């Protein structure tokens, strides 16, 4: 273990007042209907729809100790900083409320539950992982509990291990799955209660109903912003490169927006805006080229451009084109495939779209198809796609300017970082809430902490029904109840902050270097303790309330 890790293990996360002692009061609020399609969801989730919001409030009276519980826990999906602290918060609170409880960590994600591969999590074992990054204490996996056989297997494990509860730490799909399990266990007459924990660096699991942020977003954005801030000064010092930086986050651009707010780049593309404006690739290239040319005219042949991973899919014409190629044109294709031949056979509007893709990328796309012969949008290196497009515009406009691009992709680097002070405490608190909920026999809920722009002792603990996050969407051709992904809100304050500033940021060098995450309590120049300060996004949203 590194010195940093030894040091960090000794940190005690902070808890809101209601979770500090053994005393608390559970209060039930108004019933919470699904975000949409309530009746249809109620049919699928008869036992867990329209449940009330729950708040956990401080109480000076000690709650009486519970009989020992047996609780299982799973990581589901991609890593996010703070996962280990959910385990620790869950474990510690269980031991406090129901001493001698048993915590089973299912190994390698949902598959571990179905196969009943688990380990008993002890205080000693967890000590190694306190405030540490990664999910390796029990591993994670991307399997889904989908078929009847899968649900039978999960129920079998729950019955064999006499699980009182199960905590599923995951993203939107995993939490939809958690709710299906909650219903299924009730139907089978099992005592196993199910609680979800909102995990994803992408932040698309937020909800105005009580999820201010998903865990991991704060830390990973701080890691990426540290690097982007360094690259800002690199651009400014060398004065000869444009750094194009692609950031994780395929279905929503929260990460790119947050990193933009932290570092003030010259260009910050937000997929949701491009979708809302129905922009074409060409329009995006031109927007970028305008800024690059304007800076060059001011003697600035350098800059910083942030790009969300999923950008290409946000451009509506691309989806139409790729859909046509994959489902109409390519399946029956005979003979050699060249860009020219493909262009000839496309309808006029799609031909325009196809030809707006830079030639090298066009050829590469046709060559590098997946095993089913499909073109995979996600395989396109978005930053190279954009730069090729910008170079095309520069050529067409006959602009004489120096334009040298360097490429970066930041994603994996942030997923397993040691959690920030914010995420350390947030995750520990989410685990504690899950323990309180399970100790009270609550099922089908998401563990929640609110008021996160304040210091941790002022956070508010509670829970919302998982179904309250759901709507109906088409999945594999069927109407399916799923947790609604939350995209960047174009009417929200965080995006508004970008809009108000981006022209200035484009022209001038307003770069900020947020620096490496500091984990020791420290005051800013105005004497505020800043170590628990979370994302700009969250602060801006709190100001908007």
**Candidates 290-298, 326-334, 412-420, 480-488; binding stretch for a second copy (CB under 8 A):** 412-420
Residues belonging to the binding site for Mg(2+) are 172
Catalytic residues: 202
Residue with tokens 């722009």: 453
Site for a second copy contains 105 (CB under 8 A): no
Measured distance CA(231)–CA(237) in Å, rounded:
10
**Per-residue contact string for residues 250-289; x = within reach of a second copy by CB under 8 A:** ------------x---------------------------
Minimum CB separation of residue 87 from a second copy in Å reads 13
Among 237, 332, 335, 395, binds a second copy (CB under 8 A): 237
Site for a second copy contains 13 (CB under 8 A): no
**Candidates 12-20, 304-312, 342-350, 408-416; binding stretch for a second copy (CB under 8 A):** 408-416
Whether the Cβ atoms of residue 14 and residue 521 lie closer than 8 Å to each other: no
Minimum CB separation of residue 99 from a second copy in Å reads 29
Among 4, 294, 327, 370, binds a second copy (CB under 8 A): 4
Site for a second copy contains 231 (CB under 8 A): yes
Site for a second copy contains 491 (CB under 8 A): no
Q: Nearer Cβ to a second copy, position 48 or 425?
A: 425
Measured distance CA(361)–CA(281) in Å, rounded:
13
Q: Nearer Cβ to a second copy, position 241 or 459?
A: 241
Q: What is the dihedral of CA 499, 504, 507, 508, to 10 degrees?
A: -140
Classify residue 515 as exposed, middle or buried by CB count within 10 Å of its CB (0-12, 13-18, 19+): exposed
- Determine the angle formed by the axes of helices 316-324 and 348-356, rounding to 10 degrees: 110
Site for a second copy contains 452 (CB under 8 A): no
Whether the Cβ atoms of residue 315 and residue 284 lie closer than 8 Å to each other: yes
Among 160, 474, 525, 545, binds a second copy (CB under 8 A): 525
Q: Using DSSP bridges, classify how beta strands 52-58 and 460-465 pair: parallel, antiparallel or unpaired.
A: antiparallel
Q: Provide CB contacts within 8 A for 52, sequence distance 6+.
A: 28, 29, 30, 31, 32, 465
Measured distance CA(354)–CA(321) in Å, rounded:
7
Alpha helices by DSSP H, listed for 161-278, are 172-187, 217-238, 254-263, 271-276
**Candidates 7-15, 36-44, 247-255, 456-464; binding stretch for a second copy (CB under 8 A):** 7-15
Minimum CB separation of residue 1 from a second copy in Å reads 7
Whether the Cβ atoms of residue 202 and residue 252 lie closer than 8 Å to each other: yes
Site for a second copy in 431-450 (CB under 8 A): none
Measured distance CA(221)–CA(399) in Å, rounded:
36
**Candidates 38-46, 149-157, 177-185, 510-518; binding stretch for a second copy (CB under 8 A):** 510-518
Measured distance CA(148)–CA(204) in Å, rounded:
29
Site for a second copy contains 134 (CB under 8 A): yes
Site for a second copy contains 376 (CB under 8 A): no
Among 146, 188, 412, 503, binds a second copy (CB under 8 A): 412
Measured distance CA(483)–CA(60) in Å, rounded:
36
Tell me which residues touch a second copy (CB under 8 A).
Answer: 1-8, 10, 78-79, 108, 132-136, 139-140, 223, 226-227, 229-234, 236-239, 243, 262, 406, 408, 412-418, 512-520, 522, 524-525, 530, 533
């Amino acid at each position: 273990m590194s010195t940093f890790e030894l040091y960090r293990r000794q940190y005690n996360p902070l808890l809101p007042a209601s979770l500090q002692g053994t005393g608390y009061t559970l209060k039930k609020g108004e019933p919470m209907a699904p975000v949409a399609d309530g009746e249809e969801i109620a049919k699928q989730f008869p036992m867990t729809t329209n449940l009330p919001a729950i708040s956990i409030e401080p109480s000076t009276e000690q709650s009486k100790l519970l009989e020992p519980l047996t609780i299982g826990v799973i990581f589901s999906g991609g890593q996010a900083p703070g996962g280990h602290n959910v385990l620790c918060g869950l474990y510690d609170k269980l031991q406090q409320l129901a001493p001698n409880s048993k915590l089973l960590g299912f190994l390698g994600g949902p598959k571990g539950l179905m196969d009943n591969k688990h380990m008993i999590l002890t205080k000693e074992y967890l000590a190694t992982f306190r405030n540490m990054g990664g999910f390796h204490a029990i591993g994670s996996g991307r399997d889904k509990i989908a078929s009847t056989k899968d649900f039978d297997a999960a129920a079998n494990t729950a019955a064999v291990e006499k699980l009182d509860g199960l905590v599923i730490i995951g993203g939107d799909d995993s939490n939809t799955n958690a709710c299906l399990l909650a219903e299924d266990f009730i139907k089978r007459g099992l005592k196993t209660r199910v609680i979800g924990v909102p995990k994803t660096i992408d932040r698309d699991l937020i909800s105005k109903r009580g999820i201010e942020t998903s865990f991991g977003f704060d830390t990973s954005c701080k890691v990426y912003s540290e690097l982007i801030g360094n690259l800002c000064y690199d651009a400014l010092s060398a004065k000869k490169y444009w750094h194009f930086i692609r950031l994780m986050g395929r279905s929503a651009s929260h990460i790119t927006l947050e990193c933009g707010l932290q570092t003030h780049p010259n260009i910050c593309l937000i997929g949701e805006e491009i979708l809302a404006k129905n922009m074409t690739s060409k329009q995006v290239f031109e927007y970028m080229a305008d800024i690059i040319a304007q800076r060059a005219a001011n003697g600035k042949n350098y800059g910083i451009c942030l790009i969300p991973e999923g950008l290409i899919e946000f451009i509506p014409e691309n989806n139409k084109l790729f859909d046509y190629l994959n489902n109409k044109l390519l399946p029956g294709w005979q003979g050699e495939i060249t860009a020219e031949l493909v262009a000839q056979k496309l309808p006029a509007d799609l031909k325009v779209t196809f030809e707006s893709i830079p030639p090298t990328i066009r050829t590469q796309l046709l060559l590098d198809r997946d095993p089913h012969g499909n073109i995979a949008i996600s395989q396109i290196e978005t930053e190279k796609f954009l730069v090729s497009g910008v170079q095309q515009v520069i050529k067409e406009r006959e602009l004489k300017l120096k334009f040298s691009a360097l490429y970066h992709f930041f994603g994996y680097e942030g997923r397993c970082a040691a959690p920030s002070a914010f995420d350390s405490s947030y995750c520990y608190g989410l685990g504690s809430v899950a323990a309180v909920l399970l100790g009270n026999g609550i099922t089908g809920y998401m563990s929640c902490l609110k008021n996160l722009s304040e210091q941790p002792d002022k956070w508010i603990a509670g829970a919302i029904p998982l179904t309250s996050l759901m709507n109906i969407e088409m999945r594999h051709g069927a109407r399916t109840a799923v947790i609604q992904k939350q995209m960047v809100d174009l009417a929200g304050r965080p995006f508004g902050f970008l809009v108000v500033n981006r022209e200035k940021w484009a022209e001038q060098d307003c770069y900020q270097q947020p620096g490496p995450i500091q984990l020791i309590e420290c005051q800013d120049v105005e004497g505020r303790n800043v170590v628990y300060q979370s994302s700009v996004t969250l602060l801006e949203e709190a100001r908007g309330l």
